[in-house]
Amino acid sequence: MSRVSLQGVAKSFGSVQAVKDVTLDIPDHAFVTLLGPSGCGKTTTLNMLAGLERVSRGKILLDGQEITDWAPHERGMAMVFQNYALYPHMDVYGNIAFSLKLKKTPKAEIEQRVQRVAKALEVDKLLQRRISQLSGGQQQRVALARAMVKEPKVFLFDEPLSNLDAALRTRMRIEIKKLHQQLKATSIFVTHDQEEAMILSDYIAVMKDGVVMQYGKANDVYRRPNHLYVGTFIGKPRMSILEGELRVSAEGGEAVFEGEDLRLAWPGSAGTTNEGVAGAVSLGVRAEDAHLVPAQDAGPDTLVGDIALLEPLGSDTFVEVVRGRHSITARVEPDAAVFLGDRVGVRINRAKLHVFDRESGLRLAV
């Protein structure tokens, strides 16, 4: 078992509160990502888990046992750092074996374990090389091998792919995911890359200013963000936002959205909650939920505007449609006959809308 719990964990550096009352329950064998921009407290949270930073307030538990004040080597965790933190004066074998030698592990067992993980990560032919002789990808594999050889209960990853080029980064994501599935250990991963988080994670904790804004299964966080910040941070391309006033009638649940030079309306929807809602909102639309139609076929649920930007990405093309101060990005097939300046409609499915209170940013059920 390797279940990790953070209970009201906080960290202050003088008058600066870097992490504020973080509470997370990380299941056994799960891959969990702490996601957020630089300075949001995700690395500090990871360092507290590892025992590299003292907790100012709160508790950390491993399999129900409190480990808040345990030394790093007592926690049964292994950390892979952003800069790899390899020892340049040692060869690859020495780096991988270092922690086992510190524990006075028998020489024969060290040899067996080092060879096993080196082969699994395809660095077995590099064991006699110095770190300076390795590429960035090879150094990353050695760092993973050094963590893996400890046979930890929990793997901690601090943005381990940020120094790699795009192609190698994509390949190493796959390697880390395979490694996690193979070892069935609990993994906690820190990144600012939301695409990386979605690819790797079972669960995502989105952080901002030291606070966990939302924690849940990766797809739930994407499909039902509980806050405007979460909705716009996760997703590629970025969620389109329309600002305006929303009214939902108490009789039948008809919804009407009005912004500057824009009016959208949808008929009543069965099971609609918050009937009678009225107020300033931010209306969020994902690219896959926005559908292009000919401008002449536009209905009341359609924004009509001009194509201002095309982003061809091979398998998809993203089209930005602009009307006044409003813009929506829609996803279309790569061979779609659309061109800059075309007048088109973007039909918006009410069932796929994300509605947030403009003042608080909180999600509204409409």
Q: What is the pLDDT of residue 185?
A: 86
Q: What is the pLDDT of residue 174?
A: 86
Q: Which of 124-128, 178-182, 289-293 shows the lowest per-residue confidence on average (mean pLDDT)?
A: 178-182
Q: What is the pLDDT of residue 278?
A: 67
pLDDT in tens, 77-96: 998 888 878 888 899 999 99
Q: Taking residues 204-211, what's their average pLDDT?
A: 97
β-pairing verdict for 211-217 and 240-248: unpaired
Tell me: pLDDT of 9 over 90.
Answer: yes
Mean pLDDT, the chain, as a whole number?
91
The percent of residues in the chain predicted with pLDDT above 70, rounded, is: 96
Query: What letter does residue 91 receive in the DSSP assignment?
Result: B
Tell me: pLDDT of 144 over 90.
Answer: no
pLDDT in tens, 97-118: 998 998 899 999 999 999 998 9
pLDDT in tens, 148-207: 888 889 999 999 888 778 888 888 888 888 888 888 889 999 999 999 999 999 999 999
Q: Which domains does the chain have, with CATH numbers?
A: 4-227 (3.40.50.300), 240-364 (2.40.50.140)
Q: Which of 67-71, 136-140, 215-219, 351-355 shows the lowest per-residue confidence on average (mean pLDDT)?
A: 136-140
Q: What is the pLDDT of residue 75?
A: 92
269: confidence class by pLDDT, cuts 50, 70, 90: low
Phi, psi of 210 (to 5 degrees): 80, 5
Tokens of 15: 């008058």
Cβ-proximal residues to 287 (8 Å cutoff; 6+ apart), any chain: 235, 237, 240, 318, 329, 330, 331
Query: What letter does residue 212 receive in the DSSP assignment?
Result: E
pLDDT in tens, 300-320: 999 999 999 999 988 899 999
Cβ-proximal residues to 341 (8 Å cutoff; 6+ apart), any chain: 306, 307
Q: What is the pLDDT of residue 225?
A: 97
Q: Which residue has the tokens 């101060």?
A: 325
Helix (H, G, I), strand (E, B) or coil at 151: coil
73: confidence class by pLDDT, cuts 50, 70, 90: confident
